[in-house]
Structure 1
Amino acid sequence: MQQESLHPDTPYTALGFYHKISHLRADTWNALKRDLGLLARGGDESRARHLVKAVDVKLTRLEIIEDYHAFPSKEDFRHLWSLFDREEFGLLEKVVNRLVRALISESYRRRHVDLSETDADAEDLETLDALNQLRHGHPASNSSAQPYFELLIVDNLSAQEEEVVREAFHNLRRPEDRFVYDVVTVRSFEDALIAVLVNPNIQACLIRYEFPYKSKYNLSALRNYLEGLSEQALENHSEAERSILLSSMIHELRPEIDQFLVTSGDVEATASRDIRHFNRIFYRETDYIEQHHTILRAIDSRYRTPFFDALREYSKKPTGVFHAMPISRGKSVTRSHWAGQMIDFYGINIFLAETSATSGGLDSLLQPYGPIKKAQEYAARAFGARHSYFVTNGTSTANKIVVQALIKPGDIVLIDRDCHKSHHYGMVLAGAQVCYLDSYPLDDYSMYGAVPLREIKKALLAYRRAGLLDRVKMLLLTNCTFDGIVYNVRRVMEECLAIKPDLVFLWDEAWFAFATFNPTYRPRTAMNAARTLRYRYRSESYPEEYAAWKAEFDTLDPDDDATWLDRRLIPDPEAVRIRTYATHSTHKTLTSLRQGSMIHVYDEDFRQRVEAPFHEAYMTHTSTSPNYQILASLDVGRMQAEMEGFELVHAQVETALSLREQLYTHPLLQKYFRVLKNSDMVPAEFRESGVESYYDPVTGWNQMEEAWARDEFVVDPTRITIAIGATGVDGDAFKNEYLMNKYGIQINKTSRNTVLFMTNIGTSRGAIAYLLDVLIKLAKEFEYRWEESSRPERKIIENRVRSLTRELPPLPDFSRFHDAFRIAGGETPEGDIRSAYFLAYDEENTEYLRFDNGELQAQMREGRDAVSASFVIPYPPGFPVLVPGQVVSDDILHFLQALDVKEIHGYRPELGLLVFTEAALDAPPSG
């Protein structure tokens, strides 16, 4: 929304959209500084009146935002208003300049900034901090200073009482403390929630005494979180009940925040309630010293990095190395006359920490008992899992570990066909009977969406009719997809469990690890959905809810598929088991070295049924010499996510929305680059909310929560897919020839007519500005190309554009497995991919047939079933269009012929497709 559209006397509705609050905060301070500079320099009276009004508007806006931050404090703002009211605009400009420098340099995190001081030394100090920030790109003492956080106190205090409390906590700070913190006070239930949404510095919350429900502001951002609550509904709640409810809601928004309760009531009775989200309860007479140390201890428990700390300590020890690894302790390079450049480039620490030792304070990844075990326990806490495991060779390996641990030969697995290739190879290794599920196609953009819930239920019901439901072991889906399509994970699990109560779910969240740390994203993650459903099914109210649902359901025909497909299903609480696994490419979306991944487990049957085979699978695929630097980075990445993940992901979303907004509204960019909206990537039947775009030019970004709360599929806005067909350049050429070769911009994913830009927690506003500048330059280049082209050249461009926008081949569905790889007479579609894969190992069982010259098509017209003997994976789009044992269809050949990509794994153009001979298909050996 446009900042200047807000009148100072109206409720600050911008807080209704908190996604861009930090951008709005920074931009408004800078605009205020600019206006004050103009005002201080003087000018005509009319202009001065306009500037005074503009300063008034911005101060009013900022006062509301800063109400939820410790710096500048409420006292600081009273000082600003005092200067404004006295019309001391020159002095106000100096104070605001200093304040802005303190915010930019973050010097307020390291020392007290007294805005009442106006001496030159104080200003020079802030300027020096700001310069260091600009030179180094981070605060000057980023790693050596005490980490800073803010403590939220919820209490209906007067302004004077607020200052007393703040001063009391300030006086307890000591130089030897590991952390330093400041205090934010709010006076209502709603204000507490908005504070944790807009202030990422809040790491701890102290809920004290009684407080009202309503905020003095119009906080429309809370409408999705406060559904069913009202001031009247809370009137009958006791102090303890209201505090517990607030604690629960803060936990839903920011589960990492440490919470404490100060009660003036019966503390023993309060302690006996459901207070699981409070770290500790204090009675009102408890002194501030105990609260201070308890808060610091809680922060410290999240700040610890057990394995990284152990590795750092190990690197300082003098050791004698009499085992493998000459590079350990840097010996082979420090003594070298030729390899010294490695020390110059990497520094010595990486070599001092390089070892294969599992003792001396370190640990074994294959059988952890010390710091690795503790680090994995902390990871489980951070991601809401029951167990978490580190993987040092990527999510491809993590996927294979989970599949091998849970699937034995003959088990049926339902899997989306366009998932990552590691899953397909995992099916081969496990000997699974594979039932491929087709995602909905986006033919106009040569990409797939995701698998509709209705199709998943259809498949389960087909196995139920065939009497094979007991053999269906797992549902394997990608959440979110490379292109950013996100499932309603909770609903998928709930309805599938109503058909098969012990179904195992494997959610490939390789691109979604960051989602845990944002309140809008988190409900659509596997671990959050598993935990939420388990609590729901174990609640006192759910059996009654299920009984009512079952009574109505029993009046319908259970043999009619419509009974199951046309209504929402819920599972039997007596039978249901929550068995959920997620794999994360931590290195893709959070801080970790490359190949650092995690497996997260929320399986009620893990200890009884899975733990032993899981560890066998883990040892099968895990190196006995894991990279300790990757493990350490996973440990640090987890800590960072717990301490500042909310802030970093929030900033990631902000930068992505800013990029989208510019692309939506810039006339020249719109001509050549069209950003795909929610409605472009999610068909209407999967958008219950009816939201077509998260952005509206008038109301701004205010519809995202509604879509994410209700729709079957949503689009992650941090993945920006741009249709480039109007340029006449295909995706692969645009990626390499234009973005990379000309401007050094790297992207991974393209289709024939789209490119995907992904923001992450490291993306800066400067990077977004650079990308926009490049796209504008390219748009101008395409504009000049058209203007300067002759008539024949324009015809060529038009033909290219038509090919990329209107002549796109429809994406082929999975055809079928050949009968040789299916159960004889079976009614269901699963196939034995393992037998087909290994049958191709014998050269006499296969032959090459070309389709570019019509050879393969001619044999198919004569009645031959051409059956693929290998995976065929074009890049892009990157999914297998053929798997071993699959019958080649005309649609698949048409798609392959229409592709203009150079890289197709499993296909040799000079030879053709590798298919099974007809003789081999008559009697294939068992897998």
Structure 2
Amino acid sequence: MRVDIWSQLKLSTDRLQSLHASSQDISTLKEKIAAGFKILEPLELYWKFPGINAFRRLQQHFERQEYSRLSWEVTQIIRLMSSRAELYAQAYMDQIFASEQKDGQQIISVDKYNQNSNQLDFTVLFIEDDITPEKEKELRQKLAEIASDKDKFIYQLIVLSNFEDALTALMLNHSIQCCVIGYDFPLRSNNRLSLLEEYMSGLEQAELAGEYYQPRGLTLGAIIHKLRPELDLYLLSDVSVVDVDAETNQNFRRVFYNQEDYLEVHLSIIQGIEKRYETPFFDALRNYSKEPTGVFHAMPISRGNSIFKSDWIQDMGEFYGQNLFLAETSATSGGLDSLLHPTGTLKEAQSLAARSFGSRQTFFVTNGTSTANKIVVQAILTPGDIVLVDQNCHKSHHYGIVLVGAQPLYLNAYSLKEYSIYGAIPLKEIKQQLLKFKREGQLEQVKMLLLTNCTFNGIVYNVKGVMEEILAIKPDLVFLWDEAWFAFARCTSTYRERTAMQAATDLHTRYHSPQYRKEYAAFKEQFDRLDPEDDHTWLNQRLLPDPDQVKIRVYSTQSIHKSLSGLRQSSIIHIWDEEFNRRSEIDFLEAYMTHTSTSPNYQILASLDLARRQVDLEGFKLVHSQIDMAMVVRQKVNTHPLLAKYFKILTPEELIPETYRPSGLKRYQTQEDPEVEFQRIEQAWEDDEFVLDPTRLTLYIGKTGIDGYTFQNSVLMEQFNIQVNKVSLNTVLLMTNIGTTWGSVTYLLDCLHKIAEGLEQELRQYNQVEIKLFENKLQHLTLNLPSLPHFSEFYSGFRSHPATRQGDLRSAYFLGLDEEKIEYLKLDNEIDEIMASGRELVSSTFIIPTPPAFPILVPGQVVTGAIVFLMKQLAPDVIQGYRPDFGLPVFTQDALDSLNKTTGSAMTKTTAFTHLAIAVTNLNASIAFYAKYGQMSVVRLRVEPGTVWMSDNIRPFALALLEEEEAKPILPPSHIGIACVSCEQVDQLCKLARKEGCLLEGPKDYGPPTGYAAYLRDPDGHHVEISYGQEAAYESRYTPYTDLA
């Protein structure tokens, strides 16, 4: 880090001055200072202060052995770098440089510059070819003359003359808020840094190969817009405005032709920063609080009158201060606005947030992301719709599904038993479930995919990759990404690419491009050569959606208070749904009305407005600092001998299985060349199915012999006042955020060091018995860990379809509220004996232990031995929904029996029809026939003799094919019946059968009871009926049609 190198330089120059004055050896110290200068010299080009000229002056002092002057000037620079007065620092340093150090000489105090009024400073990057020192001086002088001391915003210029330097400055200097870009300029810099070498080399080769031709100013603008979309970009064009295309206008805030008046440039710069600084609702609320107001409405607390004239609660006023109560009001006029029907400042604030976060619409939520999740679920889903949902998701999603009456199919994440942690949902798992629904004719019922990004422990999805392949199977599927912990990701380009809104924007642009149509055509040509009925066709390659059918419908929910500067419960809903106005807007607004208070907290709304401003103006800087601090914690814990003995920050290699990391990235700190390491990290974030957010620090504590709950409460909180978010049996989740300071990082490391030292001291004093006990704890926390169970299944009485796993969560939930329908079982021998007897236990409520902090049982779910075993390993007080004095709530057998009678479940029957066996002479031909015309698949195989069982995976019976020398065909009126979902499907199968020569009769409407049908002949002459509209039709599951009483 640049500031760290300057700090080291200060310490070294101070020491150099001291040693030189006492005539001691300074050769080693001089080498260290020279090395520091060598690192800093190429970097200072990209900062106004102290800048390259001041830096060269310091080098001169060093070369002339003016060590006292060198030390003093470096100290002044450090003081200014640590203040907010960098803009005035140059004037201060000019005094220093113009003077000579003499005894008693008075230099103006730096405090004068720190105390400048309310002006806010920022940096403007100016990129222009052939800008001589004279032209640069003229530019600075003219812009300085235009600026006024009364301006709210003032800026300093960094002037560069080539593409590479400009990009480098933008990546390194976080104070840059605006770029004024010339039309064309050189590509490469003489100041070569390895930071962009690979990227610049690729750009250079593309230009030489003639892959594109356009002025570099336009190219640079497009790249900056992608890397730092929050910045204001202005183009100094050499061509007339009519030649500037729409894409250029989209990237640049304004285009100036042939260096127009400097006044226009200055005013545009100030106007741009003012627009981003604007906080409409916060400004209106602050202005309202200053107005004299009479309150003849609700809220006695408004204006603080009921507080400050109270005899008993004046301490409330002293604690919160006057402004809070002056801003408390129920008014929606006077510059304020209504959250439920915004037309003024709240509407503007939400529009600004949408621009900042890349959405089409953004809605503020004042009662947390739990409510935001329920709003989106209710807006999109209706009773009976199927939603694919991450079992690991926040409990608000489960409750939202209950409220709306949708049917969840719970997806299984990969699990990490050794750390008691669940990961994320593999893409292949999602595709497999969708293909099952497709086979069963239920794909149209699937309305939403709901995933958490990123997970508690920092597993981040490849959002674009997931959505692209899923849309190839279901082109109008709605995606809800729970980004409760990921709002900060918008602030940097690497993170941003894996956010819902950026992915939606990029995919929409991609699918509407001519290049994509060519890519899709090539994919389709290759795909059509494969068997679409074979799952491997879909699972073992990257899928592309049809651009003529695909619809981008993406929602995300974010807890602004979790990772940005919002008050608690401040949340946001972002929408990028091209069908929103046509299909979802009314439903969404109704859901928003359902869950939103008519008395929203104005302070929360104002904090959302301000958090957006901070994202726009300093999010890039703050998130980079957050990452830097996390990297330091990782490096210190994992390399310090004592800390590494008891602790470990888990790496990508340990949290993400290798199959999901094709980049090969194993850890964030390696002994590799930094450039190679950086490239591998970039490759991982671009291509890998999952990556690890480095700011999520999963601290493995198994070797301490202390479990996660004890470590969280009795050690970190009680002994050191350190708050952490989440624990497992042997891990503690730490995280940095934009409010983390270097002081708090140092304190954390010091505390971990003290804990390790304490363990060392205790172990040295242990006797043999205590050592044995400690070893047993280690074994319990590192080896004998319980398996993490996946979702078992819904009980048959709560399943609408036997071949797919979705369930009626709502019915199970409300049935579980009837006390007569439930019983409680203690987690001891009682429940073990009941399960061993063969009785199927079904949960009547949500059971949510921590870990894993999400339901391991939902209403209607079958209880398994693995789930019971896990619960036994956990402390009872960390299991929501379970009362140790009561036991585990499950449905009574009578309740289940009653349910079976209602739903026709076969669970109480003692016999069951299982299969029909027919003889065939060519097993492979018959398998192919029934797979094609009956959409059956092989569910069991016996090689000797050749026998297979085939099933449609909907009904609990199968067709068995027995390979024989001869096969006597099944002839009319006997036949094998196959039901279709529509007349159109019957027609399609008949068209294929006619082509293959196996169509005997039809298709036609035979009337009741046959319906619309046709008759086929299988390879051995067995008659097969395909039909639509029969009484024993496609919908028949466990309850066939009957006219018997």
TM-score, normalized by length of structure 2? Answer: 0.83
Structure 2 residue aligned with 1:394: 368
Listed one character per residue, the Cα deviations across residues 732-756 of structure 1 (whole Å, up to 9, x for unaligned) are 0001111110111111200000001
Query: How far 1:55 sits from its partner (Å)?
Result: 2.5
Query: How far 1:547 sits from its partner (Å)?
Result: 0.3
Q: What is the letter of the counterpart of residue 120 of structure 2? A: P
Q: Is this contact kept in 1: 2:409–2:806, CA < 8 A?
A: yes
Structure 1 residue aligned with 2:47: 69
Query: How far 1:804 sits from its partner (Å)?
Result: 0.1
Structure 1 residue aligned with 2:11: 34
* Residue 771 of structure 1 pairs with residue 748 of structure 2: yes
Q: What is the letter of the counterpart of residue 786 of structure 1? A: L
* Residue 834 of structure 1 pairs with residue 810 of structure 2: yes
CA distance in 2, matches of 1:780, 1:333: 50
Structure 2 residue aligned with 1:299: 273
Q: Within 5 A, what are the aligned runs for 1:296-695?
A: 296-695=270-669
Specify the SS of the correspondent of 1:486: strand
CA distance in 1, matches of 2:509, 2:575: 16
More divergent stretch after superposition (225-234 vs 72-81): 225-234
Structure 2 residue aligned with 1:153: 126
Q: Is this contact kept in 2: 1:214–1:231, CA < 8 A?
A: no
> 1:239/1:117 Cα in 2 relative to 1: closer, same or farther (>3 Å)?
farther
Structure 1 residue aligned with 2:787: 810
Query: How far 1:210 sits from its partner (Å)?
Result: 2.3
> 1:789/1:865 Cα in 2 relative to 1: closer, same or farther (>3 Å)?
same
CA distance in 1, matches of 2:230, 2:724: 32
Query: How far 1:87 sits from its partner (Å)?
Result: 3.3
> 1:122/1:163 Cα in 2 relative to 1: closer, same or farther (>3 Å)?
farther
Q: What is the aligned counterpart of 2:185 among 211, 215, 219?
A: 211
More divergent stretch after superposition (222-231 vs 641-650): 222-231
Listed one character per residue, the Cα deviations across residues 599-638 of structure 1 (whole Å, up to 9, x for unaligned) are 0000000111111110110010011100000000000011
> 1:881/1:105 Cα in 2 relative to 1: closer, same or farther (>3 Å)?
same
More divergent stretch after superposition (26-35 vs 865-874): 26-35
Q: What is the aligned counterpart of 2:254 among 280, 285, 300?
A: 280
Q: What is the aligned counterpart of 1:90 among 57, 65, 68?
A: 68
Structure 2 residue aligned with 1:913: 888
Specify the SS of the correspondent of 2:110: helix
Structure 1 residue aligned with 2:954: none
Listed one character per residue, the Cα deviations across residues 706-728 of structure 1 (whole Å, up to 9, x for unaligned) are 21111111111101111101110
> 1:86/1:43 Cα in 2 relative to 1: closer, same or farther (>3 Å)?
closer
Q: What is the letter of the counterpart of residue 433 of structure 2? A: A
Query: How far 1:674 sits from its partner (Å)?
Result: 1.2
Q: What is the letter of the counterpart of residue 813 of structure 2? A: Y
Query: How far 1:43 sits from its partner (Å)?
Result: 5.5
Specify the SS of the correspondent of 2:43: helix
> 1:547/1:231 Cα in 2 relative to 1: closer, same or farther (>3 Å)?
closer
Q: Is this contact kept in 2: 1:152–1:204, CA < 8 A?
A: yes
CA distance in 2, matches of 1:778, 1:218: 45
> 1:845/1:152 Cα in 2 relative to 1: closer, same or farther (>3 Å)?
same
Specify the SS of the correspondent of 1:64: coil
CA distance in 1, matches of 2:274, 2:449: 39
* Residue 113 of structure 1 pairs with residue 91 of structure 2: yes
More divergent stretch after superposition (893-902 vs 742-751): 893-902
Q: What is the letter of the counterpart of residue 7 of structure 2? A: N
> 1:128/1:101 Cα in 2 relative to 1: closer, same or farther (>3 Å)?
farther
Structure 2 residue aligned with 1:51: 29
TM-score, normalized by length of structure 1? Answer: 0.93
CA distance in 1, matches of 2:681, 2:522: 33
* Residue 875 of structure 1 pairs with residue 853 of structure 2: no
Structure 1 residue aligned with 2:897: 922
Q: Is this contact kept in 2: 1:579–1:602, CA < 8 A?
A: yes
Specify the SS of the correspondent of 2:494: coil
Q: What is the letter of the counterpart of residue 149 of structure 1? A: F
Structure 2 residue aligned with 1:125: 109
Listed one character per residue, the Cα deviations across residues 328-378 of structure 1 (whole Å, up to 9, x for unaligned) are 111101111111111111110000000011111110000000000000000
Q: What is the letter of the counterpart of residue 776 of structure 1? A: H
Q: What is the aligned counterpart of 1:714 among 662, 668, 691?
A: 691
Listed one character per residue, the Cα deviations across residues 269-318 of structure 1 (whole Å, up to 9, x for unaligned) are 12556431100100124021110000110111110000000000110111
Q: Is this contact kept in 1: 2:184–2:215, CA < 8 A?
A: no
Structure 1 residue aligned with 2:1006: none
More divergent stretch after superposition (181-190 vs 597-606): 181-190
CA distance in 2, matches of 1:145, 1:671: 51
Larger RCO of the pair (alpha carbons < 8 Å, separation 6+): 1
Q: Within 5 A, what are the aligned runs for 1:240-259?
A: 241-259=215-233
Structure 2 residue aligned with 1:3: none
Q: Is this contact kept in 1: 2:161–2:185, CA < 8 A?
A: yes
Structure 2 residue aligned with 1:736: 713
> 1:44/1:317 Cα in 2 relative to 1: closer, same or farther (>3 Å)?
closer
* Residue 821 of structure 1 pairs with residue 798 of structure 2: yes
* Residue 80 of structure 1 pairs with residue 53 of structure 2: no
Q: Is this contact kept in 2: 1:445–1:753, CA < 8 A?
A: yes
Listed one character per residue, the Cα deviations across residues 831-874 of structure 1 (whole Å, up to 9, x for unaligned) are 0100000111221111112232x222222222221100000011
Q: Is this contact kept in 2: 1:732–1:901, CA < 8 A?
A: no
Alignment RMSD (CA, Å): 1.9
Structure 2 residue aligned with 1:12: none
Query: How far 1:922 sits from its partner (Å)?
Result: 3.1
Q: What is the aligned counterpart of 1:856 among 816, 820, 831?
A: 831
Specify the SS of the correspondent of 1:325: coil
More divergent stretch after superposition (184-193 vs 407-416): 184-193
CA distance in 1, matches of 2:673, 2:755: 30
Q: Within 5 A, what are the aligned runs for 1:259-278?
A: 259-271=233-245, 274-278=248-252
More divergent stretch after superposition (578-587 vs 269-278): 269-278
- Give identity over the alignment, percent: 50
Q: Aligned pairs, how many? A: 890
Q: Is this contact kept in 2: 1:495–1:568, CA < 8 A?
A: yes
Q: Is this contact kept in 2: 1:155–1:207, CA < 8 A?
A: yes
Q: What is the aligned counterpart of 2:79 among 61, 86, 101?
A: 101
Q: Is this contact kept in 2: 1:305–1:635, CA < 8 A?
A: yes
Q: What is the letter of the counterpart of residue 347 of structure 2? A: K
Specify the SS of the correspondent of 2:142: helix
Q: Is this contact kept in 2: 1:98–1:123, CA < 8 A?
A: no
Specify the SS of the correspondent of 1:524: coil
CA distance in 1, matches of 2:795, 2:88: 68
CA distance in 2, matches of 1:52, 1:162: 35
Q: Is this contact kept in 2: 1:513–1:589, CA < 8 A?
A: yes
Q: Within 5 A, what are the aligned runs for 1:217-256?
A: 217-222=191-196, 228-231=202-205, 233=207, 241-256=215-230
> 1:900/1:272 Cα in 2 relative to 1: closer, same or farther (>3 Å)?
closer
Larger Rg: 2
Listed one character per residue, the Cα deviations across residues 116-138 of structure 1 (whole Å, up to 9, x for unaligned) are 42367875522677xxxxxxxxx
Query: How far 1:699 sits from its partner (Å)?
Result: 3.3
> 1:516/1:121 Cα in 2 relative to 1: closer, same or farther (>3 Å)?
farther
> 1:552/1:237 Cα in 2 relative to 1: closer, same or farther (>3 Å)?
closer
